[in-house]
Structure 1
């Protein structure tokens, strides 16, 4: 399986990652990726940047070392209403927005509360991807989340880092169940490395095995084609691709 996109990457700006934008792009180029996202944590994450950092992402070139660069964020969901830690005026200028629950920002609720937080976050028109929904620290009604993703045209992430992360230990079974539900309900997924060091960019080994095991249809996997992901972002009304949307 050839995956050419990795939109979930963290730089030193996240406060607990160890590479620069340039180092991430160089590694992506070396591995033959066509597109990456720079999606550092929102400001509620301890050690992360202020929201002004997001406003300055516009200085990044569209391509670095031949790899197309999406300007983004992994916003933190702060409550059961789905509130994010990044203001709308910032979100509307970004190319890709990932939203996720992190125990460094909120304490897990019960299954109902965690599910509500994700479902309500998907009501935000700027949210494109739900990060690592298999995290066992935040148990959810998986089918309810997948069905909401279908309703709101939100991508469900299969997070390769969750198979290795000590903080999300025990994600495997949840990720498999979520993937099977996405296949059942024809909900598109996107694989993310969740890299916190440049060598991890494009590391999809465990996620690929999962997709092969569940026989996920290629048309539901966003990472296989830049054009496929761009068409999705156009439908989501991303400012960067607005001119293209008007001509298609």
Structure 2
């Protein structure tokens, strides 16, 4: 499967990443990406930028090194009510909003509580995708959550970093199960490198291998073409991005 969008990347602004957005974009061009999502950590993550940082992504050109730039965030799931750490006035500045569990922000609890949090994140309607769900510290009812994600058109991330054994150790088993069940249910999948250094931009081989293992149709992988990704944003109720008009079809 060919992937042309990386929907989960970090810059120096996240506090524990090591590259600038220019370096990330240059790597994206070199590796053949057409769209790059900038998804630095939202404010509750230790070391993350102030919320004005996300508003000010409007100063970013829509193209850097000939790669389209998607203004995004990796928000933190805060509680079982499904709240995330973005102010309401932030959403109008952002194209792409992911939500993830992070141990410093949401202390691992029971499977029931994790499931409740994810269901409420989905139902709150503010999040376009759920990030690195394979983390064994945050077990949840996979079938229930993925069915809800399908009903609300929320994408499920296949996080390449989770499959490398370098972070969230033990995620590979649950990621496999998530993709298997997600294929059966018919969810939308997205693919993220979770790069914290520019050379990891577009490193998606493990994610692609897992999607191919279960023969997930390209039509269900929103990062397989620019039109699928951008039209997914329209499905989510986002405004059309005029600078990307030629990438919608």
Same fold (TM over 0.5): yes
Partner in structure 1 of residue 151 of structure 2: 151
TM alignment of 1:122-137, pairs within 5 A: 122-137=122-137
Partner in structure 2 of residue 181 of structure 1: 181
Partner in structure 2 of residue 77 of structure 1: 77
Partner in structure 2 of residue 220 of structure 1: 220
Partner in structure 1 of residue 21 of structure 2: 21
TM alignment of 1:1-248, pairs within 5 A: 1-164=1-164, 166-241=166-241
Deviations 1:187-241 (Å, cap 9, x if unpaired)?
Answer: 1101110000000000011111111111111111111100111111012121353
Cα drift, residue 74 of structure 1: 0.2
Q: Distance in 2 between matches of 1:191 and 1:8?
A: 8
Q: Distance in 2 between matches of 1:124 and 1:238?
A: 15
Is the 2:164–2:206 contact (alpha carbons within 8 Å) kept by the matching residues of 1?
no
**Structure 2, gaps ≥5 residues long:** none
Is the 2:159–2:191 contact (alpha carbons within 8 Å) kept by the matching residues of 1?
yes
Residue aligned with 1:89, SS: helix
Deviations 1:106-158 (Å, cap 9, x if unpaired)?
Answer: 21110010011111111232210000111101011011110010111000000
Q: Distance in 2 between matches of 1:203 and 1:124?
A: 31
Q: Distance in 2 between matches of 1:30 and 1:177?
A: 33
Q: Distance in 1 between matches of 2:216 and 2:18?
A: 33
Residue aligned with 2:144, SS: helix
**Which stretch shows the higher mean deviation, 193-202 or 88-97?**
88-97
Q: Distance in 2 between matches of 1:167 and 1:160?
A: 10
Cα drift, residue 93 of structure 1: 2.1
**Which stretch shows the higher mean deviation, 209-218 or 53-62?**
209-218
Scaled by the length of structure 1, what TM-score is found? 0.95
Q: Distance in 2 between matches of 1:242 and 1:18?
A: 31
Deviations 1:161-194 (Å, cap 9, x if unpaired)?
Answer: 1123544100111011110111101111011100
